[in-house]
């Protein structure tokens, strides 16, 4: 898939106010500071479509971007470690869960995970919640440029071993790096295939 256009549509904390169109949506979410904004900018080939920040927890709203005029990329708040008050955290954790529960346009979620770290309980718990609530998702391993190929392989295998303790199979996953565009085509082609399959199902 070639990204010809990417435009910001809206930000809000109320799922009821999300775009009314029935265009397919793909939601990106991950722990704070996982490189989500950088990944979104890399995928869309825009320098600052999503705002990047050295301060974790910058994204605190549901952000909709219209891609190629035919699907929405949704940037969701990070979970965990954000430097915000407990009350603020509760508020946006609530609209994250409401988004996944109520948003019929959602096709799949992408859960971002820093490939350099061993599986974090907060990531595993969130994936478990998605699974229990019937939300399809893929894992996107970020920051692959920070590791050598053998180390990437080992980290993924370690991740699989832990996930398979509670899951029947490893979720679909991608290896990415925002700095050298590793995995860009894999993720975009995956979205493109899902969009094409949905179009076929309408006939």
CATH at residue 115: 3.40.50.300
- The answer to whether residue 133 sits within a structural domain is yes
Structure tokens at 123: 């990531």
Helix extents (H) in the chain:
36-44, 86-102, 121-132, 149-163, 184-201
8 Å CB contact between 26 and 191: yes
Number of domains in the chain: 1
| Host domain of residue 89 | 6-148+161-201
- The answer to whether residue 101 sits within a structural domain is yes
- The answer to whether residue 53 sits within a structural domain is yes
**CA pair distance 170, 150, nearest whole angstrom:** 20
Residue 56 three-state SS: coil
- The answer to whether residue 186 sits within a structural domain is yes
Give the closest residue to 65 by CA, choosing from 30, 27, 104: 27
What predicted TM-score, i.e. pTM, was given to this entire model? Answer: 0.90
pLDDT in tens, the chain (203 residues): 999 999 999 998 889 999 999 999 999 999 888 999 999 999 999 988 887 544 444 457 899 999 999 999 999 987 764 455 566 556 557 778 899 999 999 999 999 999 999 888 889 988 998 999 999 999 999 999 999 999 999 999 999 999 999 999 999 999 999 999 999 999 999 999 999 998 655 44
- The answer to whether residue 155 sits within a structural domain is no
């Amino acid at each position: 898939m070639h990204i010809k256009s990417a435009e910001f549509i809206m930000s809000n904390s109320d799922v009821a106010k999300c775009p009314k169109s029935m265009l397919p949506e793909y939601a990106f979410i991950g722990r704070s500071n996982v490189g989500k904004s950088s990944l979104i900018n890399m995928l869309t080939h825009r320098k600052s479509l999503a705002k990047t920040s050295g301060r974790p927890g910058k994204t605190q709203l549901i952000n909709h971007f219209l891609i190629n005029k035919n699907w929405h990329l949704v940037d969701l708040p990070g979970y965990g470690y954000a430097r915000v008050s407990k009350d603020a955290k509760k508020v946006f954790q609530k609209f994250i869960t409401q988004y996944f529960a109520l948003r019929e346009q959602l096709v799949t979620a992408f859960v971002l995970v820093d490939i350099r770290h061993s599986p974090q309980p907060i990531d595993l718990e969130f994936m478990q919640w998605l699974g229990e609530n019937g939300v399809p998702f893929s894992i996107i391993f970020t920051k692959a440029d920070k590791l050598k190929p053998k180390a990437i392989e080992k980290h993924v295998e370690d991740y699989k071993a832990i996930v398979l303790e509670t899951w029947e199979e490893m979720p679909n996953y991608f290896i990415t790096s925002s700095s050298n565009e590793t995995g860009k085509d894999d993720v975009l082609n995956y979205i493109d295939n899902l969009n094409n399959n949905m179009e076929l199902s309408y006939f």
